[in-house]
A and B are shown apart, each in its own frame.
Chain A
């Protein structure tokens, strides 16, 4: 008698793996998506939903801020002809207009950056192209927001 004839009837023989039975169980293979201690608590976030919501909330505020800005800069009091260093100095003497411009800068840049992120995700098909275009976008956005913020807060009407 060979060794095989002595195994129970429900034993399964796997090619090259020997014989498994209730007494000699096969190793457990963990299902690929099982949550373990090392799995992050949240494997998905609601980032895209918050992005979607931000576009709508910032959009409503920007309608007021940007249309007001266009009205002041391009329509009232001679339109573009009045704009110059003295005009900027006059407006930024007031904290109200400083805050207006600061809020407009941040909201418009984030709103625009998120919009362009969507556009890049839609049209750049190669992984590398998409990654580098977004890195360029984020770099330009951070640079512009910080430059603008710095200029609003450090503006000096008596420069020179």
Chain B
């Protein structure tokens, strides 16, 4: 590869990549989620059966991943709005990204037990 052709935009580029990847993942989940919720129109049993899948430990772990993707996309989205509409936004975009990451870690730590409680109980008993 010739020198100088690899674009490495640091925080700005990687937050853009992460925003894109999480956005696409969330959209695909949303599509499936509307379909599974539509089963309430079929019968209570059909709906409860599919919701039982969501209570499976592996799927429960994926829900934690979904929360991770949504929280990042939401917080970084607010940062993008600040970059676009706040006069000092572009100047502080990097500090805002690290604030996003910090708040994300705190919220993810807070969500860990409530979201995965069911799985922890299933796997480790009592």
Contact = CB atoms under 8 A, between A and B. Distances in A.
Given A159-B41, A160-B43, A56 B115 contact: no
A115 interface: yes
Contacts of B123: none
B30 A112 contact: yes
B74 A66 contact: yes
A79 B48 contact: no
Contacts of B38: 147-148, 151
A66 B23 contact: no
Contacts of B63: 74, 80
A85 B48 contact: yes
Interface of A: 56, 59-60, 62-63, 66-67, 70, 74-76, 78-81, 83-86, 88-89, 105, 108-109, 112-113, 115-116, 119, 140, 144, 147-148, 150-151, 154-156, 159-160
A109 B118 contact: no
A115 B67 contact: no
Interface of B: 20, 23-24, 26-27, 30-31, 34-35, 37-38, 40-41, 43-44, 47-48, 51, 54-55, 60, 63, 67, 70-71, 74, 77-78, 80-81, 84-85, 111, 114-115, 117-118
Contacts of B81: 56, 59-60
A119 B24 contact: yes
Nearest to B26: A112
Nearest to A155: B40
Contacts, number: 103
Secondary structure of the B contact surface, majority rule: helix
Nearest to A88: B40
Contact of B30 (A108, A147, A159): A108
23 contacts: A56-B84, A59-B74, A59-B77, A63-B74, A70-B70, A74-B114, A75-B114, A76-B114, A80-B115, A81-B55, A83-B51, A84-B47, A85-B44, A86-B44, A108-B30, A109-B34, A112-B23, A113-B27, A140-B31, A144-B35, A147-B34, A160-B43, A160-B44
Interface centre among B30, B71, B78 (most CB of A within 10 A): B30
A160 B40 CA distance: 11
Which of A60, A75, A154: most chain B CB closer than 10 A?
A: A75
A72 to B, nearest CB: 11
A88 B51 CA distance: 11
A104 to B, nearest CB: 10
Contacts of A144: 30-31, 34-35
A42 B74 CA distance: 36
B23 A115 contact: yes
